[in-house]
Amino acid sequence: VAKVLEECSGGAATDEERAALQLWASLVRATDIVRASLSAELAPRCGLAPEDIELLTRLSEAPEQRLRMADVSRSLLLSKSGATRLIDRLAERGLVERAACPSDRRVVYASLTSGGREALREAGPALRAGLVAHLGRHLGAHEAEAVRAALDRILTGEGAGV
Amino acid sequence: VAKVLEECSGGAATDEERAALQLWASLVRATDIVRASLSAELAPRCGLAPEDIELLTRLSEAPEQRLRMADVSRSLLLSKSGATRLIDRLAERGLVERAACPSDRRVVYASLTSGGREALREAGPALRAGLVAHLGRHLGAHEAEAVRAALDRILTGEGAGV
DNA sequence: AAAGATTGAACATTCAATCTTG
DNA sequence: CAAGATTGAATGTTCAATCTTT
């Protein structure tokens, strides 16, 4: 990608621009490919997409195992309506359920059901195995740690609220 | 994410699994956030999404500034129909056009128009500036290089055809 | 008026089926 | 029959508008 832009899209790329371009290309490709592999392996195994597991996980760690809809959207980097629809889908499958909040009647909680806990118990090990196979296997321990540290620096620099 | 799964989704995560989990969380978040920032900045500036620019770039570097539809889908990690629709959209805007292949009448070329070259000349610098601001700015030169090397190792390990 | 959530419309992406050419 | 490309249907995502509650 970089070599291309450097010559074709306006010329005059600096070294810094070239480096950023290459880094971006690798970043996007790596996440896309690993995501695709994970989805393909997880779907037949447990019928859940990686994003579904991510949601169930966030719920399982939350106090009372539930989250306000707005927090679902924020923590998953999803629009408000995206959160509504995600919870719709998982609620239909019995993995989460909606609950009213007594103290503020505007908020709706999404809470983990026992079925959701069960699904997560099965999906968790599969997800972890997939991540080790597709990600960890190719990197040494402190190399992985170094990459994570660099990415986290970008995240905090860009103002990501964990 | 990692702390959660370690305790909630089946327990007994190894150190290796924890590391892979954390790396994955940072990887996904970083690409999502940078992608969102890029899209938001590029859209008003030049009316193109990052993926559009990526396609125009690939075309601009290809021999004759054209690519077979199948190569579009492969190089952008898109399904065959996804490639068809992407070219549809950009052709409607006059940035690419379809052309028949005389030697094999099954193949359709997507080729860059002069309008597409013009659009890329404007978008290229904007994309590069955005990438430096959102990605490069937070990392030292050889740190960025180290991350890229690690990601590329994952890519070749996972069998990514560049 | 502002915040939380939902809905409908628009759009992008994929899968499966189809059509044409080799 | 296999490969290249396109189409229709289904799914998921977002934006803008709406409704309720604060």
Structure confidence by residue, pLDDT tens digits, A102-149: 999 999 999 999 999 999 999 999 999 999 999 999 999 999 999 999
Distance CA(A72)–CA(A56), nearest Å, equals 10
Q: Do B132 and A16 touch (CB under 8 A)?
A: yes
Q: How far is A161 from chain B (nearest CA, A)?
A: 10
A28-63 exposure pattern, b = at least 16 Cβ within 10 A, e = fewer: bbbbebbbebbeebbeeebebbbebbbbbbbbbbbe
β-strands A108-112, B96-100: how paired?
A: unpaired
Distance CA(A52)–CA(A36), nearest Å, equals 14
Q: How far is A112 from chain B (nearest CA, A)?
A: 12
What is the pTM (predicted TM-score) of this model? 0.89
Average pLDDT of B79-99? 98
C1' nearest to CA of B79: which nucleotide? Answer: C14
C1' nearest to CA of A49: which nucleotide? Answer: D12
pLDDT value at position A162?
55
Find the residue closest to C7 using CA and C1' atoms: A81
Binning pLDDT at 50, 70 and 90, where does residue B152 land?
very high
Average pLDDT of B34-50? 92
Distance CA(A54)–CA(A162), nearest Å, equals 14
**What does the pLDDT look like over A24-78, one tens digit per residue?**
999 999 999 999 999 999 988 888 999 999 999 999 999 999 999 999 999 999 9
Binning pLDDT at 50, 70 and 90, where does residue A15 land?
confident
Q: Which of A73-82, A92-101, B43-52 has the lowest mean pLDDT?
A: B43-52
Find the residue closest to C3 using CA and C1' atoms: A106
Binning pLDDT at 50, 70 and 90, where does residue B162 land?
low
Instruction: Tell me: pLDDT of B128 over 70.
Output: yes
Cα dihedral A53, A63, B36, B159 in deg (nearest 10): -30
Average pLDDT of B84-112? 98
Binning pLDDT at 50, 70 and 90, where does residue B160 land?
confident
Distance B82 CA to C9 C1' (A): 22
Binning pLDDT at 50, 70 and 90, where does residue B161 land?
low
CB A128 within 8 A of CB B19: no
Instruction: Tell me: pLDDT of B10 over 60.
Output: no
Nearest CA in chain B to A139: B150
Instruction: Tell me: pLDDT of A161 over 70.
Output: no
Q: Do A30 and B34 touch (CB under 8 A)?
A: no
Average pLDDT of B44-70? 95
β-strands B66-68, B108-112: how paired?
A: antiparallel
In the predicted model, what is the mean pLDDT of chain B? 91
Say whether the CB atom of B96 is under 7 angstroms from strand D. no
The better pLDDT of the pair B3, B37 is held by B37
B95 Cβ neighbours under 8 A, 6+ residues apart: B52, B56, B112, B113, B115, B116, B119
Distance CA(B53)–CA(A8), nearest Å, equals 12
Distance A85 CA to D7 C1' (A): 28
pLDDT value at position A72?
98
CB B96 within 8 A of CB B76: no
Q: Do B61 and A30 touch (CB under 8 A)?
A: no
Give the residue ranges of DSSP H helices in A47-113.
Answer: 50-61, 69-75, 80-92
Instruction: Tell me: pLDDT of B73 over 50.
Output: yes
Average pLDDT of B2-10? 47
Average pLDDT of B92-119? 97
C1' nearest to CA of B108: which nucleotide? Answer: D5
B138-151 exposure pattern, b = at least 16 Cβ within 10 A, e = fewer: bbeeebbebbbebb
List the structure tokens of B29.
């978040």
Distance CA(A20)–CA(A14), nearest Å, equals 10
List the structure tokens of B140.
């030292």
Q: Do A138 and B158 touch (CB under 8 A)?
A: yes
Q: How far is A120 from chain B (nearest CA, A)?
A: 5
Give SS3 for B162. Answer: coil
Q: What are phi and psi of A66, to 5 degrees?
A: -150, 160
Instruction: Tell me: pLDDT of B149 over 50.
Output: yes
Interface size, chain A vs chain B, as Cβ–Cβ contacts under 8 Å: 231
